[in-house]
Amino acid sequence: MEVAASSDQYRSSSSSASSPARRYYLPKPGALRRPISFEDSPDWDDIHPDDTIHLASAASASISIASSAYPSPSPSLPPGPSSASTAACRERKLAGATLVWKDLTVSSLAATTNRFSDRLVKSSNGYALPATLTVIMGPARSGKSTLLRAIAGRLSATERIYGEVFVNGAKSPLPYGSYGYVDRDDVLIESLTVREMLYFSALLQLPGFLSSKKSIVEDAIAAMSLCDHADKLIGGNCFMKRLPTGERRRVSIARELVMRPHVLFIDEPLYNLDSVSALLLMVTLKKLASTGCTIIFTMYQSSTEVFGLFDRICLLSNGNTLFFGETLACLQEGPCLKGKGRASDAARIVVLTWRSLLIMSRDWKYFWIRLALYMLIALSIGTVFTDIGHSLSSVMVRISAIFAFVSFVILLSASGVPAHIDEVKIYSHEEANRHSGTMVFLLGNFLSSIPFLFLVSILSSLVFYFLIGLRNEFSFLMYFVITIFVCLLANEALMMIIAYIWLETYKCSLTLIFLYVIMMLVAGYFRIRENLPYPVWTYPLSFISFHTYAVQGLVENEYVGTSFAVGQIRTIPGVQAVRGSYDISSSTNAKWVNLLVLLLMAIGYRIVLYLLLRLDVRKHARMLGNWRSWWPSVHSATGAK
């Protein structure tokens, strides 16, 4: 349908995405205003001689993409006898999904009343169609991200939704694999390349063989124009700069594309991007939408060029919908979306273990710095306490060396806090998108930490063991190594718990150092455990200290079964020589009991971590914080009555 430009108002650009044969006229000189349409973008310059701009359909736009950037999530129907535009519409309808939200209201838990009374979004209505870009715009705190999360079904426990959301005409939530959600903040693994990051993401999300996933990853890389950066480290290194902000944003989006979603939700895709990067990213998203994907995203503001790429706009202010660019009938039904297959738990555990090992080998904060510190502390303590001999007078000195080694090895573990915080953040992001699970994450993290911790334990223990001159038998050496290894296993679990609680390097480091100092005080070195005040210090603190069981087991390993000469005739057993300065058992099995306790602590802390992650304690803690802020006001109001 063509209407003269002098007599008709211009239609909004949303019509162009769903009407394959429409023409828009350029304004005549003297026109009061000019329509904002995505003809202004660098990719659409098909200007005809008759002063009209012909907008190609979404299907034809996708054909023009030379790299075939993003394959259709669903198989295309063979074109029938109808026109090419009809076939394109059928293909688009299969590839994307039609979303409609009606009278959508979102309330949050009010801090003063402890009720869902604060309305963040108020009776919003709108829709999004396949092969289109739908943007939710508004000022800060207008409810943009809340509306996006409500449509995607990702509201928190402190928020409640009212109204209806339809997916292809059916009132049902989006199943697994049918949508992707990109947060505003990029949560990426700095020590992986772009291709590796996407490959591991595909392995976690998709079932099937490895070879098929490589092609999916390459498609996602091409879709987001990341070919030039595919083999670059995301975080960079001393010889390479970190990935620019625009490319990091593209990686976050590409990570969701490996699932080939029908609908893609993006929270602030242009966050922290300059104008050029923003325009280029929006052009990429426009091409992605032209292949059939339904894209809904939020935005604070945009330039005229970026604005011209949008198909549909929902304008919010203080939770109210001020404008929605409706140009089509939207209540069209399509096929019911079905959930896609996902990788098995066993496969995801293997993938996470493999990924974590790769990260540890590249992340200097987690592996290389800690290994260097452990070797340095072992060498320092070993040289300080070298040549102490094996006489009765050396007993106290050797115990001091063992205590110092155990204490400082555990203390220096705090250098790995930033890596643990990154792991928890990655888990939170992947778990929110159902790419991972609590048990899968914990098992993958545990299995991947074993080689690293054992390597650190054996290297540092060998240096310390022979410099100090401990018992020269292989069985005693292996007990020493295994004790340090299991002690570090337990400590790693404690560090993960603290990292999850705070998620801040300073607070985590401060908390861990405080706990380590308390454990050192109650370990029985500064004062024998029997002489400690029983409440608090003996029980429970001395019973939950790594140092207590590690030092006691290592001292028993060194002195049980030995004897020392007193004069030329008399000898005393090693246990008696030690008991003046440290409390140990004379039983040959006592050291194995201490090792077993350390192993149970390593398991117990991981069970605690599992419960924290599974129950999402941080979310409930935020709710408790709201309740605590509400309680004083209620109490004061009651007292006033």
| DSSP string for residues in 31-77 | -S-----GGGSTT---B-TTSEEEPPPHHHHHHT-TT--S--SSPPP
pLDDT higher than threshold 50 for residue 57: no
Asked if the structure places residue 2 within a domain, the reply is no
- The arithmetic mean of pLDDT across residues 500-511, rounded, is 95
pLDDT value for 93: 37
Verify that 322 and 369 share a domain, yes or no: no
Please, what sign has the CA dihedral across residues 4, 6, 11, 16?
positive
**Which DSSP letter does residue 366 get?**
I
Distances (CA, A) of 431 to 308, 425, 560: 35, 10, 49
The span from the CA of 205 to the CA of 347, in Å, is 10
Res. 28: pLDDT tops 90: no
Whether residues 202 and 124 share a domain: the answer is yes
pLDDT at residue 12 is higher than 50: no
Q: Which of 387-401, 475-489, 612-626 has the lowest mean pLDDT?
A: 612-626
Q: Tell whether 310 and 360 lie within a shared domain.
A: no
What are the tens digits of pLDDT across the range 322-381? 999 853 434 457 678 888 888 899 999 999 999 999 998 888 767 888 899 999 999 999
In this predicted structure, the answer to whether residue 84 has a pLDDT above a threshold of 90 is no
Question: Has residue 76 been placed in a domain?
Answer: no
Residue 538 is predicted with a pLDDT of: 93
Cβ burial, residue 498 (10 Å; 0-12/13-18/19+): buried
Angle value at C-alpha 623, between 622 and 625, nearest 5 degrees: 65
8-state DSSP, 132: -
Q: 69-83, 155-169, 280-294: which range is least confident on average?
A: 69-83
User: For residue 451, is the peptide bond before it cis, meaning its omega torsion is within 30 degrees of 0?
Assistant: no
What six digits make up the tokens of 157? 């426990």
Report, as an integer, the average pLDDT of 536-541: 93
Both 271 and 412 in one domain: the answer is no
One domain for residues 509 and 596: yes
Token pair belonging to 357: 């090992």
- Per-residue confidence (pLDDT) for residue 252, from 0 to 100: 97
Residue whose pair of structure tokens reads 């007990």 in the numeric block: 479
Domain end call among 278, 296, 326: 326
| Adjacent-strand bridge partners of 106 | 121, 161
- Give domain status of residue 300, yes or no: yes
CATH code of residue 227:
3.40.50.300
Please give the average per-residue pLDDT across 481-507, as a whole number: 96
Question: What is the Cβ-side half-sphere exposure of residue 450, based on CA atoms within 13 angstroms?
Answer: 9
Average of per-residue pLDDT across 604-628: 80
Torsion angle of C-alpha atoms 142, 144, 146, 150, degrees rounded to 10: 140
User: How much is the pLDDT for 619?
Assistant: 75
59 — pLDDT class (breaks 50, 70, 90): very low
Kindly state whether residues 262 and 368 are assigned to the same domain.
Answer: no
Instruction: Give dist(CA 555, CA 571) in Å, integer.
Output: 19
Distance from the Cα of residue 591 to its chain's centroid: 40
What 3-state DSSP class applies to 135? strand
Q: Determine the Cα–Cα distance for residues 130 and 13; give it in Å rounded to an integer.
A: 15
What confidence score (pLDDT) does residue 55 get?
A: 31
The answer as to whether 8 is a domain residue is no
Is the domain of 168 the same as that of 274?
yes
With H, G, I as helix, E, B as strand and everything else as coil, classify residue 105: strand
* Strands 539-540 and 320-324, sheet pairing: unpaired
Residue showing tokens 């590839």: 95
Same domain, residue pair 320 and 351: no
What DSSP element (H or E) covers 592? helix 590-614
Indicate the average pLDDT of the chain: 82
pLDDT tier at 530 (50, 70, 90 boundaries)?
confident
Identity (one letter) of the amino acid at 12?
Answer: S
List the one residue out of 315, 182, 151, 325 whose CA is nearest residue 248: 182
Instruction: For residue 76, give both structure tokens.
Output: 């295309």
80 falls within a domain: no
75 pLDDT above the threshold of 70:
no
Question: Tokens 């290994």 label which residue?
Answer: 371
Domain limits at 247? 99-326
Instruction: Give the pLDDT score at 630.
Output: 41
| pTM assigned to the model | 0.76
Asked if pLDDT for residue 601 goes beyond 90, the answer is yes
Report the pLDDT value the prediction gives residue 74, as an integer from 0 to 100: 35
Number of domains in the chain: 2
257's enclosing H/E stretch is helix 245-257
Q: Is the dihedral of CA 560, 562, 565, 571 positive or negative?
A: positive
Residue 503 tokens read as 């998620």
Cα angle 553, 554, 558 (rounded to 5 degrees) comes to 115
pLDDT digits (tens, 9 = 90+) for 131-189: 999 999 999 999 999 999 999 999 988 899 999 999 999 998 999 999 999 999 999 99
563-600: buried (b, 16+ CB within 10 Å) or exposed (e) per residue? ebeeeeeeeeebbebbeeebebeeeeebbeebbebbbe
Indicate whether 399 and 322 sit together in one domain.
Answer: no
Confidence of residue 20 (pLDDT cuts 50, 70, 90): very low
My answer on whether 321 and 353 are in the same domain is no
Taking a C-beta distance cutoff of 8 angstroms, is the pair 252, 226 a contact?
A: no
Do 263 and 357 lie in one domain? The reply is no
Query: Does 595 have pLDDT greater than 70?
Result: yes
Q: Is residue 581 part of a domain?
A: yes
Residue 81 domain-assigned (yes or no): no
Residue type, 119: R
> Is 56 inside a domain boundary?
no
Whether 263 has a pLDDT exceeding 80, the answer reads: yes
Categorise residue 89: left if φ over 0, alpha if ψ from -120 to 50, beta otherwise. Answer: alpha
What number is the average pLDDT over the span 112-124? 86
pLDDT at 89 over 50: no
Quick one: 364 and 285 in the same domain? no
Name the pairing type of β-strands 52-54 and 23-25: antiparallel
* pLDDT at 244 > cutoff 90: yes
User: In the block, which residue shows the tokens 């002063």?
Assistant: 51
| CA-angle at 360, arms to 189 and 381, nearest 5° | 135
Asked whether the predicted pLDDT for residue 506 surpasses 90, the reply is: yes
